């Protein structure tokens, strides 16, 4: 695991109300951060590689964000790196790290990495919660339920892999789906598996359907696993991803729905112990826009 040094702007002359995220980094924190240095899944999926450098690229702008007085403490458990083409081994190691972190932390935030991160995140969550009914909420332009091809699992297959493990208990809601980014084969598979979808273009008209689906997902499950693929955002908000979105969902809409989910979990007395943010590719990130966007989402998930 590689180490990140949590530091940032110092406004101590303004007193304790001038704290930033890095001030809450400590051993034995309430929440945990784990990085997953991987773009092997993106490579296998014929995308733009570079996501392995995403975790620390998110930590940088996250560290300096201002925070309220009640912001929770957190512990950084470093990064797990996929060595060469050993994606499956890396995912297993990520799962083991999450299981260990869940023993002492309320929430584990995983910073990817391509969306192959999701399978490792789920392995950890299921390993720690073998009997829980788990609902998956994915903010993503892509369904990521492709069949595994000759190259093996990829950033396009994680929810297919999860469904293979979960069987009829597979409960998956994808918000922000772009019709142009998914084949008819994927839509047919989603229908066959009972996948719930909210299309990206409908979110410009109303959030009512998305809120209804989130409420229902929370109600019928014990635990929610939340995963955010940054390519759900418009290309100008998230240029540094494997596959930038031509249309995308406005950042304010994603933030609103993430907040709605966090509130809903609390109101319905459910839990959200594992979440992740994936697909940041710093090599294509103009003025760190995508990293700064991801940092704001990370702050939201650590605070919630």
CA distances from 43 to 107, 114, 185 (A): 30, 9, 22
Tell me the CB-side half-sphere exposure of residue 151, using CA atoms within 13 A. 14
How buried is 290 (Cβ within 10 angstroms: 0-12 exposed, 13-18 middle, 19+ buried)?
Answer: buried
Secondary structure (DSSP) of 205-265:
T-SHHHHHHHHHHHHT-SEEEEEEEGGGSBTTT--SBSS-BSS---HHHHHHHHHHHHHHH
**286 known ligand binder:** no
**212 known ligand binder:** no
Q: Cβ of 149: how many Cβ atoms within 10 Å?
A: 12
For 214, list phi and psi in degrees, rounded to 5. -65, -45
**115 known ligand binder:** yes
In angstroms, the CA 53 to CA 150 distance is: 26
Provide the annotated binding site. Answer: 115, 140, 142, 144, 229, 231
Binding residues for Mn(2+): 115, 140, 142, 144, 229, 231
């Amino acid at each position: 695991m590689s180490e990140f040094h949590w530091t940032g702007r110092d406004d101590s002359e303004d007193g304790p109300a001038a704290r930033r995220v890095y001030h809450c980094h400590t051993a034995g924190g309430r929440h945990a951060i784990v990085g997953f240095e991987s773009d092997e899944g993106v490579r296998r999926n014929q995308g733009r590689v570079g996501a392995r450098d995403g975790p620390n690229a998110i930590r940088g702008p996250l560290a300096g964000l201002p925070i309220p007085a009640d912001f929770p403490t957190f512990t950084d458990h470093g990064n797990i790196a996929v060595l060469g083409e050993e994606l499956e081994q890396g995912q297993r190691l990520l799962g083991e790290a999450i299981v260990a972190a869940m023993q002492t932390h309320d929430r584990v935030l995983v910073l990817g990495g391509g969306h192959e991160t999701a399978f490792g995140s789920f392995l950890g969550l299921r390993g720690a919660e073998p009997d829980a009914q788990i609902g998956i909420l994915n903010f993503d332009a892509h369904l990521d339920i492709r069949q595994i091809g000759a190259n093996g699992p990829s950033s396009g297959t994680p929810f297919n892999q999860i469904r293979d493990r979960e069987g009829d208990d597979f409960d998956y809601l994808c918000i922000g789906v772009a019709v142009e980014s998914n084949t008819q084969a994927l839509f047919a598979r989603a229908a066959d598996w009972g996948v719930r979808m909210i299309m990206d273009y409908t979110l410009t008209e109303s959030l009512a359907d998305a809120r209804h689906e989130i409420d229902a997902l929370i109600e019928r499950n014990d635990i929610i696993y939340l995963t955010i693929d940054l390519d759900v955002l418009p290309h100008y908000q998230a240029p540094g991803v494997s596959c930038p979105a031509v249309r995308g969902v406005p950042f304010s809409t994603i933030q609103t729905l993430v907040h709605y989910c966090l509130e809903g979990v609390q109101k319905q007395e459910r839990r959200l112990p594992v979440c992740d943010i994936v697909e940041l590719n710093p090599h294509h990130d103009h003025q760190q826009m995508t990293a700064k966007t991801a940092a704001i989402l990370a702050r939201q998930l650590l605070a919630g």
